[in-house]
Structure 1
Amino acid sequence: MANTTRDSKLETFRFLHEKPGIFVMPNPWDAGSAKILETVGFESLATTSAGYAFSQGLQDGIAGLEREDVLENAAEIVNSVSLPVSADLEDGFGPIPQDCALTIERAVDIGLVGGSIEDASGNPERPIFEFSLAVERVAAAAEIAKKRGFVLTARAENYLNGRPDLDNTIRRLQAFEKAGADVLFAPGLPSLEAIRIVCNSVNKPVNVVMGLSGPTFTLDELQNAGVKRVSVGGSFARAALGALYNAAKEIKTFGTFDYSRDAMPHSKVMQFMTESTRQMEHRKASD
């Protein structure tokens, strides 16, 4: 992919974080789902490690995916659409700061304009990296991100790992901000008030994820709480898998095929694929 194309996507992605108002960055798990989301009208996309893992018959989690596999999946999505694409880069694929830096380097090389690094370790006994190491990891990633042109999201994973400590989460996010992160993210916050407190405690854009278990809030509610960006994690992939499971169970249980009434028509899928390709070709011509 030409550098000018990636540069224009990076400019667009940064503008989305700077302009007034909230925006949604949904999470496709492959090129086809990415094309549909582009055609629906979203302005940027983000990969989902969970959705990709499920598509490969793997469990979600740091131990289930390798850096090369995740980046290969991300590259397929990047090259299938004209939109800016950010990536779920898990823990940076290694415990030391240099691992995170290398992951950002590789992410830039395949055309990604952003990505997230989390402070979850994958170690059940110590699921969250010690504070100073977590900050050093973000700092190493941020140094490369600034040099290469990349929107870095730093994730504080306490609430997804059995540590519902809002004060510690905020302390980590504030330290990640000082270390150079462009966007801050604490998935699994328990309430709208907790989200509001986090947004008021930092000066960089805050991402939240909707569609997981627990309460959900409208875009208006999230914007009023100070949220800038909303992602959906693996929930779109799980919605698709839910439809697949229900269709299979209907056949096996009742011997009927009524699920097909709710399935997207073949012609509509073809239309989505064609329209997305047209948009990508138009973007390349403009660049």
Structure 2
Amino acid sequence: MDVFEKAALFKKLHTYDQPLLLPNPWDAGSARILSRLGFEALATTSAGLAFSLGRQDARGSLSRDLVLANAESIIQATDLPVTADLENGFGDSPEAVSETIRLAAERGLAGGSIEDSTREAASPLYDFNHAVERIAAAAETVKELGFPFMLVARAETYTCGSGNLDDVIRRLQAYEKAGADVLYAPGLPDLDAIRLVCKSVSRPVNVVMGLSGANYSVSELAEAGVKRISLGSSMARAAWSGFIAAALEVRDEGTFGFAENAVSFAEINSWMKGGEK
């Protein structure tokens, strides 16, 4: 499929009764495995990428070029639609956000998310009006693409520490009016808050799972009105957890039992077939 077909399929996947499960690979290999496990679409993870490069997930840790190159490597590893974590658009201005969306589409992405977090401690969220202008600029760029790139607007109110649900809803409603296709507020405190957010907007809502705290099932989230479930850095952290546990066993116990439960070389090698270029 070309990018137009992938984008059309990706948009359609947001319309079903059951939420779209959107796991987050951090490189081509993890993308290839998730594709072969039967998922229907994938999303990148800036944190997963940062960790794989030995960096912290922090403002300035990853450049736009690096994030888009990683996304392109994931696109090339799978036939599935791929959406990207585009952080805060790699710039404060609406123009910078527009350019990021344009470049993301050129790489073959079917969607991308833009945060309203400045990642500055003194002022962690963009002013409301400026945040809306950034999403509106991104939406205008999407209109010029010629295919249904799924623009995701993220309200980072909870991740920035204020925990104000009214502010989340106000921002998401404004982002919807500005042209966002999917709405996303990481860190919502409970299922009631998720349900209220879903009722307060008419566009699909994304919820991230795999974080510490409440752990809701797909059916519970579907009942609350969620249309898309992403996993953020949780799969990357799960992989790192296995790696660390194996290393600690070798260091502290002098044993190698971890290898008994590890996927075999032959199996994982076979899953990578087709990646040789």
Same fold (TM over 0.5): yes
Q: State the partner residue of 1:184.
A: 183
Return the letter of the residue paired with 1:109. E
Q: State the partner residue of 1:206.
A: 205
Contact 1:63 1:122 in 2 (8 A): no
Q: State the partner residue of 1:284.
A: none
- 1:185, distance to aligned residue in structure 2 (A): 0.1
Q: State the partner residue of 1:138.
A: 135
Contact 2:22 2:39 in 1 (8 A): yes
- 1:147, distance to aligned residue in structure 2 (A): 1.8
Q: Counterparts of 1:166 and 1:30 in 2: how far apart (Å)? A: 34
Q: Unpaired runs of 5+ in structure 2?
A: none
Contact 1:62 1:91 in 2 (8 A): no
Q: State the partner residue of 2:5.
A: 8
Return the letter of the residue paired with 1:227. V
For residues 216-244 of structure 1, the C-alpha deviation after alignment (integer angstroms, 9 at most, x for no partner) is 10000000000000000000000000111
Return the letter of the residue paired with 1:107. A
Q: Counterparts of 1:198 and 1:39 in 2: how far apart (Å)? A: 33
User: Which residue of the other structure, out of 102, 106, 110, is the alignment partner of 1:109?
Assistant: 106
Q: State the partner residue of 2:270.
A: 271
- 1:177, distance to aligned residue in structure 2 (A): 0.1
Aligned residues: 273
- 1:271, distance to aligned residue in structure 2 (A): 2.4
Does 2:204 match 1:195?
no
TM-score, scaled relative to structure 1: 0.93
Q: Counterparts of 1:125 and 1:262 in 2: how far apart (Å)? A: 47
For residues 248-287 of structure 1, the C-alpha deviation after alignment (integer angstroms, 9 at most, x for no partner) is 011000111111112111111122222xx49xxxxxxxxx
For residues 187-245 of structure 1, the C-alpha deviation after alignment (integer angstroms, 9 at most, x for no partner) is 00000000000000000000000001111100000000000000000000000001111
TM-score, scaled relative to structure 2: 0.97
Q: Unpaired runs of 5+ in structure 1?
A: 279-287
- Where is the helix percentage greater, Structure 1 or Structure 2? 1
User: Which residue of the other structure, out of 84, 88, 105, is the alignment partner of 1:87?
Assistant: 84
Task: Indicate the SS of the match to 2:29.
Answer: helix
Q: State the partner residue of 1:245.
A: 244
- 1:63, distance to aligned residue in structure 2 (A): 2.3
Task: Indicate the SS of the match to 1:17.
Answer: coil
Contact 1:27 1:232 in 2 (8 A): yes
Task: Indicate the SS of the match to 1:101.
Answer: helix
Task: Indicate the SS of the match to 1:98.
Answer: helix
Contact 2:15 2:227 in 1 (8 A): no
Q: Counterparts of 2:215 and 2:200 in 1: how far apart (Å)? A: 22
Aligned positions of 1:1-287 closer than 5 A: 5-148=2-145, 149=147, 150-274=149-273, 277=274
Q: Counterparts of 1:147 and 1:193 in 2: how far apart (Å)? A: 37
Q: Counterparts of 2:142 and 2:249 in 1: how far apart (Å)? A: 49
Q: Counterparts of 1:164 and 1:50 in 2: how far apart (Å)? A: 22
Q: Counterparts of 2:133 and 2:188 in 1: how far apart (Å)? A: 24
Greater CA deviation, 146-155 or 200-209? 146-155
Q: Counterparts of 1:117 and 1:56 in 2: how far apart (Å)? A: 22
Q: Counterparts of 2:102 and 2:263 in 1: how far apart (Å)? A: 39
Q: Counterparts of 1:214 and 1:50 in 2: how far apart (Å)? A: 19
- 1:141, distance to aligned residue in structure 2 (A): 0.7
Q: Percent identity?
A: 52
Q: Counterparts of 2:93 and 2:213 in 1: how far apart (Å)? A: 32
CA RMSD of aligned residues (A): 1.0
- 1:18, distance to aligned residue in structure 2 (A): 2.0
Return the letter of the residue paired with 2:215. T
Task: Indicate the SS of the match to 1:160.
Answer: coil
| 4+ runs deviating over 4 angstroms | none
